[in-house]
Structure 1
Amino acid sequence: MTQKKPSNTERRRIAQEKIAAQRKAEARRQRTATIAWVVGGVILIAGAGTAAYYGINSTNKAHAKAAASAQASDPSIDKSASLLATTAHQSDGATVDGVVGSNEMENLAYHIHAHLTIYVNGVQKNLPYGIGIIPPYSLDTSSGSPFVSGGSAYYYLHTHDETGIIHIESPNNHVYTLGNFFDVWKQPLSTTQVGPDKGTVTVYVDGKTFTGDPKTITLTKYKNIQLDVGTNVPFKNFSWPSGY
């Protein structure tokens, strides 16, 4: 008997349950990490500051080297033909535009979402899962489409799936931009180019035409952004699933 594929509504429900479970797990890890930092601070005050500094610095360098290697070799990296570009060459954990990427867990103090849709000559191009998440990935495909439920480190700006939802998760309410997101992804963005595709770029923000530099668009709660490269596609609103 052929197994019935889950509906879009069912997939969204499953994805929401995953996110909720992930948030609880991250909150538990954050509490553990806070205790570790307090203990580390006491050690620094006790006179081990210099050694701790060099130890942390060496750890960060080692992490960046390992992350770069993982980016190039991890078989779980999204390679779907529908993508604008893959994450194979994205940032490796170093801070980009003030967006920290060496976090071993997600920051949930400030947690909002924006959405990005991209069309190239009338054809929709998806964002890959794992932008801003350092491999190796833990992939969950139980809903019928991949969802990154874990990675070795997170940027404040990242994607868990191909829905176009950008997660903004940071320790404070600093406002980041679409340019920051593309810089983490290491893809170009301008009025004449989006990722590898060139042409006149028409920009919509919440249904209204935006004529400025797309890099400056702020990523605020529930903002819907659409980029059309070449052929102009009328704005298509994104229906936010419950739980975001």
Structure 2
Amino acid sequence: MHTKLALAVALSAVTLGVAACAAPAPAPAPSAAPSTSAMAPSPESTGTSPAAASDFALDIAGAPGRIAQAGLSVLTAEGNVDHYHAHLDLFKDGKPVTVPANIGITAGPDNRANGISALHTHDTTGVVHIESPTAGQVFTLGQLLTEWGVLGGSGAPGTGDGPLDGWTLYVNGQKRDAGIRDLPLKAHDEIVLSYGAAPAKVPAAYDFPSGE
């Protein structure tokens, strides 16, 4: 069982300039040390099948390496040149999997946030924040999944080398036959990733809060 590490303070309490977006809520530090891997396959997992939904938890401790692996940088503040949002829903065998808060956010030994990628999440709504200091940079679904550490259903977690066989991609309700890794994240897109049996209803849109 992996430990989901929540940040001990809201980002607005440190040096990350997040006035434009909501910060993750404070939470007590976990009683056990975080795992060193974001998604290790459970003993019964074989082939390309992902581990149980509970194993999609986020490993904050490994965030700097995964951000670098995604080809992104750890910033001291959110960028304010390009700013938009997409939404991600993830399903395994028709059941929703929570997209964790704090993807793309780093924390120090004291559990305080100390860095942020231009591509990140703040909460568990599935809203993906793109807040870049560079105009026109393209961010992809593959980069987000690498930051999360769940790219592929087998192999070393977070390496970006795992296969994506068995996953189905939908964008705004339309099935896509390929391009999971390279899918560009665009403003207000509703992205659905499904493994195994499809959900009873594939979300085709997301009701973004006013101003997002």
Both proteins in one fold, TM over 0.5: yes
Structure 1 contact 158–168 (Cα < 8 Å) conserved: yes
How many equivalent residue pairs?
A: 163
Residue identity matched to 1:86: A
2:208 is the alignment partner of 1:235: no
Residue identity matched to 1:155: S
Distance (whole Å) between structure 2 residues aligned to residue 137 and residue 161 of structure 1:
21
Structure 2 contact 152–163 (Cα < 8 Å) conserved: no
After TM superposition, the score normalised by the length of structure 2 is 0.64
Aligned position for 2:189: 223
**Residue-by-residue CA offset, 1:7-51 (whole Å, 9 max, x unaligned):** xxxxxxxxxxx99x89xx8289xxxxxxxxxxxxxxxxxxxxxxx
Which protein has greater RCO, CA pairs closer than 8 Å, 6+ apart?
2
> Sequence identity of aligned pairs in percent?
27
* Residue aligned with 2:147, SS: helix
Distance (whole Å) between structure 2 residues aligned to residue 137 and residue 160 of structure 1:
20
**Residue-by-residue CA offset, 1:111-166 (whole Å, 9 max, x unaligned):** 11111001100110011111100125999xxxxxxxxxx72100111110000011
Deviation at 1:213, TM superposition (A): 2.7
Closer, same or farther in 2 for the Cα pair 1:83/1:167, shift >3 Å? farther
2:104 is the alignment partner of 1:129: no
Aligned position for 1:162: 124
Q: CA RMSD in A?
A: 3.6
Q: Which runs of 5+ in 2 are unaligned?
A: 1-9, 20-31, 35-51
1:26 to 14, 17, 21: 17
Aligned position for 1:87: 58
Structure 2 contact 151–164 (Cα < 8 Å) conserved: no
Distance (whole Å) between structure 1 residues aligned to residue 106 and residue 179 of structure 2:
28
Closer, same or farther in 2 for the Cα pair 1:90/1:157, shift >3 Å? farther
* Residue aligned with 1:26, SS: coil
**Residue-by-residue CA offset, 1:61-99 (whole Å, 9 max, x unaligned):** xxxxxxxxxxx946xxxxxx9656122164326633431
Residue identity matched to 2:17: E
Closer, same or farther in 2 for the Cα pair 1:153/1:240, shift >3 Å? same
Structure 1 contact 96–183 (Cα < 8 Å) conserved: yes
Residue identity matched to 2:139: Y
After TM superposition, the score normalised by the length of structure 1 is 0.56
More helix, by proportion: 1
Residue identity matched to 1:180: Q
Stretches of 4+ aligned residues off by more than 4 angstroms: 81-84, 136-139, 194-199
TM alignment of 1:100-111, pairs within 5 A: 100-101=73-74, 103-111=75-83
Structure 1 contact 189–214 (Cα < 8 Å) conserved: no
1:204 to 158, 162, 170: 170
Q: Which runs of 5+ in 1 are unaligned?
A: 1-17, 29-71, 75-80, 140-149
TM alignment of 1:18-57, pairs within 5 A: 26=17
Aligned position for 1:99: 72
Residue identity matched to 1:96: Q
Closer, same or farther in 2 for the Cα pair 1:95/1:241, shift >3 Å? same
* Residue aligned with 1:153, SS: strand
Structure 1 contact 132–157 (Cα < 8 Å) conserved: yes
Aligned position for 1:180: 143
Structure 1 contact 99–155 (Cα < 8 Å) conserved: yes
